[in-house]
């Protein structure tokens, strides 16, 4: 199998996507083709043998071949007196974190051009990229979430009880997230959050609450789960701690929890995944309070694809590649228009 890795994108998480994509060289044992989307939304073919983070920070990637996205595949751009070349890949893996990758932009482009890919479909992106919509979706499938308030940039933000967590609605990797312990800290935290988004969520900060991460996907109608991990952290997993995790390739430690709690977490994951996330490997982050499971976030394109939670990540990706949802074939035959014309005698 030849697997194309699509990464980069116009996003605050652009650099994280680069680090995450490079990590795949160590955990996916097949031929990889790297396709990079830069801040100008130009695609580039990055040779696997030279890919490293400095290639992008220095701008050296611009010396690589530029690509165009067409029906069925990526192609090299036509040079003077030469033909464009099809980039051979059996399917693509969406590894764009944040904007372009998790908001449905790349999903729409790939679906429009009839290209097979592993990743969340556009509807799944809409639900999981926006934390406010995630809350509503979770409620609709009977999964609890922590209480919250939603504010936009023009609203007066009133907090009755501290401490709280303030987070931008459309960002991951803990970017723009703050713990606010008093009124005097509120103004600065709001400035930080609104720098990245025009809408925020405010949730109560619950000291000592347990957090567990579970990744998985659906293969032949059955769920393939990772281990359940209890991330090690202080108050919350901030950007710096998460950033170090995006290059993780070593297996994480399994959480020491009861079989009953593990089953509750897996059942919650199943409800969230449903059919909406078919074709994607996602990670869900859960809170546990008084033995009740609450959804914290859905990660539709998790850092390093959460490879470190699986004992055989390579095998999972290869099985998932053969279990992608089919595109509905809609036949357009103009029957309705022809009937109208016939009835008018035309």
**What CATH number has the domain bearing residue 161?**
3.30.1490.20
SS3 state of residue 272 = helix
N residues, the chain: 346
Among candidates 83, 62, 76, which has minimal Cα distance to 33?
76
Instruction: Give the domain-ending residue among 100, 118, 136.
Output: 118
Measured in degrees and rounded to the nearest 5, phi and psi for residue 40 equal -95, 5
Q: Which DSSP state fits 339?
A: H
Q: Are residues 72 and 54 in the same domain?
A: yes
Residue with tokens 């990526």: 74
Instruction: Give the domain-ending residue among 118, 138, 162.
Output: 118
The tens place of each residue's pLDDT in the chain, 346 residues long, gives 999 999 999 999 999 999 999 999 999 999 999 999 999 999 999 999 999 999 999 999 999 999 999 999 999 987 666 788 999 999 999 999 999 999 999 999 999 999 999 999 999 999 999 999 999 999 999 999 999 999 999 999 999 999 999 999 998 767 889 999 999 999 999 999 999 999 999 999 998 899 999 999 999 999 999 999 999 765 554 545 544 555 566 678 999 999 999 999 999 999 999 999 999 999 999 999 999 999 999 999 999 999 999 999 999 999 999 999 988 889 999 999 988 888 876 5
Query: Is the Cβ–Cβ distance between 311 and 252 less than 8 Å?
Result: no
* 131 part of a folded domain: no
Q: How far apart are CA 124 and CA 97, in angstroms?
A: 14
What total of structural domains would you count in the chain?
Answer: 3
Q: Which two tokens stand for residue 313?
A: 């990540």
* 132 part of a folded domain: no
Region class of 335: left (phi > 0), else alpha (psi between -120 and 50), else beta: alpha
């Amino acid at each position: 199998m030849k697997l194309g890795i699509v990464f980069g994108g116009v996003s605050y998480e652009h650099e994280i996507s680069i680090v995450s994509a490079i990590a795949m060289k160590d955990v996916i044992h097949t031929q990889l083709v790297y396709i990079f989307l830069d801040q100008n939304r130009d695609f580039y073919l990055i040779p696997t043998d030279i890919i490293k983070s400095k290639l992008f920070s220095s701008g050296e990637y611009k010396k690589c071949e530029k690509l165009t996205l067409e029906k069925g595949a990526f192609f090299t751009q036509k040079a003077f007196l030469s033909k464009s070349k099809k980039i051979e890949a059996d399917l693509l893996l969406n590894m764009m974190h944040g904007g372009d990758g998790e908001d449905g932009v790349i999903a729409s482009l790939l679906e429009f051009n009839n290209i097979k890919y592993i990743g969340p479909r556009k509807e799944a992106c809409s639900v999981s990229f926006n934390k406010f919509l995630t809350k509503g979706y979770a409620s609709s499938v009977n999964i609890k979430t922590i209480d919250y308030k939603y504010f936009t940039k023009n609203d007066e933000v009133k907090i009755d009880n501290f401490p709280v967590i303030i987070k931008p609605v459309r960002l991951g990797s803990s970017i723009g997230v703050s713990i606010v312990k008093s009124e005097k800290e509120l103004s600065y935290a709001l400035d930080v959050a609104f720098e990245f988004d025009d809408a925020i969520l405010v949730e109560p900060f619950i000291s000592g609450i347990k957090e567990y991460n579970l990744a998985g996907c659906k293969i032949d109608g059955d769920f393939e789960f990772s281990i359940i991990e209890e991330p090690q952290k202080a108050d919350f997993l901030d950007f710096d701690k998460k950033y170090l995790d995006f290059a993780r390739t070593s297996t994480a430690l399994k959480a020491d929890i009861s079989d009953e709690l593990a089953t509750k977490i897996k059942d919650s994951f199943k409800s969230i995944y449903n059919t909406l996330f078919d074709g994607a490997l996602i990670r869900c982050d859960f809170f546990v309070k008084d033995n009740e499971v609450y959804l914290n976030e859905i990660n539709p394109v998790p850092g390093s694809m959460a490879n470190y939670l699986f004992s055989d990540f390579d095998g999972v990706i290869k099985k998932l590649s053969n279990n992608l949802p089919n595109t509905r074939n809609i036949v357009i035959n103009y029957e309705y228009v022809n009937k109208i014309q016939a009835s008018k005698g035309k």
